[in-house]
Amino acid sequence: MGDWYRQAGHGVRFEWGPTGAERLAADVECVVIVDVLSFTTSVTVAVEAGTRVFPYRWRDETASAYAAEKDARLAVGRRMATPSSPWSLSPAALRAAPAVPRLVLPSPNGSAIAASAGASPVVAGALRNATAVGRWLVRQGYGTAEHPVALIAAGERWPDRSLRPAVEDLLGAGAVLHVLRERLGDTLSPEAAVAEAGFRATADVRAAVTAGASGGELIDGGFAEDVVIATELDACTAVPVLVDGAFTAAPPLSAALP
């Protein structure tokens, strides 16, 4: 396979899913995961409360063992939360649950991408913290041809497990890309530029996500509040960075930054 897929020469790149992360990670210096409904949104909610979030790729019996190894609580599927175990992949449930120091968050999408990113620094981006993430990337020197960054939209899965590109992740990545474009200029690959333009052209992001397929699925399933939280555009200033296997809030930027 040639190297045409790397989007070489561009400081800011964009791809989809674990395979996209794996392909681009070796050629960039930072990877930003965007899984708006709901992994990275849940990470922002938990990190805001002071929780270290350990991503885990599998939602099976090994997750319990991993949580015990990390001395952490285990988040369960949305419909499996109980009063004694209220932590789940639902951002609304996490916001209502007691804050804990350490949480294992299984996710076949977001966590799989984190595992596919290799040794690159990994950041959790979402609509909630798009501007904060973009500013942090610029401050760290990412987004130039010498120090490229890749935005990876998680997407969803069809029943056969193939990737289904999702409008909420396109918009979430586009929101971060918009910040990078404003601050860095013309460093975006064509793939990244199209995603950024999609965000910029969307007059009502919340309405678009709510009306989209993934938003409709959650609302029909009784999780409308998750969609509301996921579309709190720039409500969060936390930048979760994967450190020693856990997402932890990066030190805050100076208030003087533009």
CATH (domain of 177): 3.90.1560.10
Range of the domain at 205: 10-246
Nearest Cα neighbor of 194 from 254, 156, 153, 145 is: 153
Number of other CB atoms surrounding residue 193 within 10 Å = 18
* Per-residue pLDDT reduced to its tens digit, 176-193: 999 999 999 999 999 999
Q: Is residue 102 part of a domain?
A: yes
Alpha-carbon gap, residue 184 to 178, rounded angstroms: 10
Residue 82 has pLDDT above 90, yes or no: no
Domain count, the chain: 1
Q: What confidence tier does 254 reach under pLDDT thresholds 50, 70, 90?
A: low
Q: Is residue 169 part of a domain?
A: yes
Size of the chain in residues: 258
Residue 256 has pLDDT above 60, yes or no: no
Q: Is residue 78 part of a domain?
A: yes
- Reported in sequence order, the residue ranges of the chain that DSSP labels E, i.e. its strands, are 12-16, 30-34, 52-56, 73-74, 102-106, 122-125, 149-153, 156-157, 163-164, 240-243, 246-249
Q: Is residue 211 part of a domain?
A: yes
Q: What confidence tier does 116 reach under pLDDT thresholds 50, 70, 90?
A: confident
pTM of the model: 0.94
Q: What Rg value do the Cα atoms of the chain yield, rounded? A: 17
Q: Is residue 254 part of a domain?
A: no
Q: Is residue 4 part of a domain?
A: no
Q: Name the DSSP class of 83.
A: T
* Per-residue pLDDT reduced to its tens digit, 28-43: 999 999 999 999 999 9
Alpha-carbon gap, residue 136 to 161, rounded angstroms: 33
pLDDT of residue 47: 97
Q: Is residue 251 part of a domain?
A: no
Question: pLDDT averaged over the chain?
Answer: 93
167 token code pair: 């409008």
Buried b (16+ CB within 10 A) or exposed e, 33-57: bbbbbbbbbbbbbbbbeebbbbbbb
Q: What is the mean pLDDT of residues 147-153?
A: 97
Q: Is residue 104 part of a domain?
A: yes
CA 219 to chain centre: 20
Q: What confidence tier does 230 reach under pLDDT thresholds 50, 70, 90?
A: very high
